[in-house]
Chain A
Amino acid sequence: MNFFTDFGRYLLLMKGMFSRPENGRMYWKEFMHQCSEIGFGSLGIVVIISFFMGAVSALQTAYQLTNPIIPKSTIAQIVRDTVILEFAPTLVCIVLAGVVGSKIASELGNMRVSEQIDALEIMGINSKTYLVLPKVMACLLMIPLLVILSAALGIVGGRVAATSSGIIAPNVYDKGLLENFIPYNVFFALVKGYTFSFLISSIPAFYGYHVEGGSLEIGRASTKAVVISCIAILFADYVLAAILLQ
């Protein structure tokens, strides 16, 4: 019952986001601010995770491919496809659910508790549109870009690890990358990126916007937002794979 109540309130928040801005320029400034906070703010962690994710993926694939009949270039293919199909969109988005999601939930929660959201409403500003919409839009713009960057860095990380440890020659790795490449995989990764971006921004915004109480509740809302976002990402990941990879 509680789930349906929360889901209904979540849908109402999403519906409430879409109203005519009081001043487009102010909303644009807020959108750009959020793009900078979410995009550039998460850049460091995405770069580190993606590079090592590709590197470990290359080493572990090489460890398992002991059959001499299988060409070494297969390692590059496996790294490429794993990174594009799963690691870059899903793993990075799960990390971003923690980084971005907790930030959104705690920021909105703090604004709710300290009556800043009420202050906006009193001024005649739709707080849902002004506070939630720019965050959701910024996530929809920046996170897919981070996913693309992550995929590229993962592949580079795999190359660095595989060649520096002498598992595979650089030219063989590069050759492997181009073999059996399916462009649809990139499309699939982007579909996942957009879906997860929406979940990462809207679920924490819901929990943050509806905080009641004090700092303890802000912490709880932030944790709950991250947990629910991660579960929603994994569920959506399965559904998208089932629908789009048939």
Chain B
Amino acid sequence: MIEVKNLRKSFNGNVILNDVTATMQAGKCNLIIGTSGSGKTVLMKCVVGLFQPDSGDILYSGENFMAMAEPEKKEIRKQIGMLFQGSALFDSLTVEKNVMFPLNMFTKDNHATKLKRVNEVLERVNLVGSNKKYPAELSGGMKKRVGIARAIVLNPKYLFCDEPNSGLDPQTALVIDKLIQEITREYEITTIVNTHDMNSVMETGDHIIYMHKGLKEWEGTREEIIFSKNERLNEFIFASEFLKDAKDMRMLEMSGKIGNDRDMDELMNGDGPAIS
């Protein structure tokens, strides 16, 4: 579990994170959502130690990351895998060498063992046969999958994903979402995903933190988000008419007032959902 307590971060006097307190639950897919500029990327970069917060505490399994010396922080970082928004693959290295890089740096295994592990994770992200390709030869979705493979190759305890769906078509985005969700379950990782993709929120979010203008506005599960009365959250999540209708449908369905088949029939006929 990762706990963030009273975290503050500003750049040149401009407050980006204002007293943020949140919990990322162990073994679950935790989502940080919010509009652009709401501070979610800064929050993630503070949590992984790329930014030094002005004040506040970050606790990894109860241990205060902020109070640790650099060697201890390094040990924590070795338990972290991260998928970056632009994948951050090393341009000069092939897919195989990109994924093998953390193994080369931190293990003393022989080449055959390392290659076996690389092939295992590449198979897991459905990239068999792409070993010798360079990042420039890959599509956006493939780059993300290589990024995930590199992030999980050392069996991390924590997986951070910064906008994993940005720049991807909806179908590929769903594949990436599903992959992140499956990996979280299989490897029992604590996953933290930064996103403003509503599909991700509804499909993968076990625990959701909503950020607004540097403040944590709301925290809860994806079931709770449907019934939330928080206006800002509702405006953000259900921005379009289509999503508002979908929310109404889901609320009715969850409250047991209507059944799925009937909703679908009525939607297909254009009559809208009716309360039974």
Residues in chain A within 8 A of chain B (CB atoms): 22-23, 26, 110, 114-116, 118-119, 121-125
Contacts and interface: CB of A to CB of B under 8 A. Distances in A.
Nearest to B135: A114
Given A123-B78, A124-B74, A118 B106 contact: no
Contact of A115 (B78, B81, B84, B106): B84
Contacts of A121: 49-50, 77
Contacts of B105: 22-23, 26, 123, 125
A119 B84 contact: yes
B220 interface: no
B88 interface: yes
A116 B88 contact: yes
Q: How large is the interface on B (under 10, 10 to 19, 20 to 34, 35 or more residues)?
A: 20 to 34
B275 to A, nearest CB: 49
A23 B100 CA distance: 14
Nearest to A23: B105
Given A114-B88, A116-B90, A122 B50 contact: yes
A23 B107 CA distance: 9
B104 interface: yes
Interface in B35-50: 45, 48-50
Contact of A124 (B85, B90, B91, B106): B106
B117 to A, nearest CB: 15
A118 B84 CA distance: 9
Contacts of A116: 88-91
B75 interface: yes
Contacts of A119: 82, 84, 88, 90
A77 to B, nearest CB: 47
List 9 tightest A-B contacts by C-beta distance, closest first: A124-B77, A115-B88, A119-B88, A124-B78, A115-B84, A122-B82, A124-B74, A23-B105, A116-B88
B74 A23 contact: no
A115 B83 CA distance: 10
B77 A115 contact: no
B191 to A, nearest CB: 15
28 contacts: A22-B105, A22-B106, A23-B104, A23-B105, A26-B105, A110-B91, A114-B88, A114-B91, A115-B85, A115-B86, A115-B88, A116-B88, A116-B89, A116-B90, A116-B91, A118-B45, A118-B50, A118-B82, A118-B84, A118-B88, A119-B90, A121-B49, A121-B50, A123-B77, A123-B78, A123-B105, A123-B106, A124-B77
Contacts of B81: 122
Give the most central of A22, A23, A123, A125: most B CB within 10 Å: A123
Contacts of B33: none
A115 B85 CA distance: 9
Contacts of A115: 84-86, 88
Interface in B83-118: 84-86, 88-91, 101-102, 104-106
B80 interface: yes
Contacts of A118: 45, 50, 82, 84, 88
Determine which residue in B80, B88, B101 has the highest number of CB atoms from chain A within 10 A of its CB, and name it.
B88
A23 B75 CA distance: 15
Nearest to B50: A118
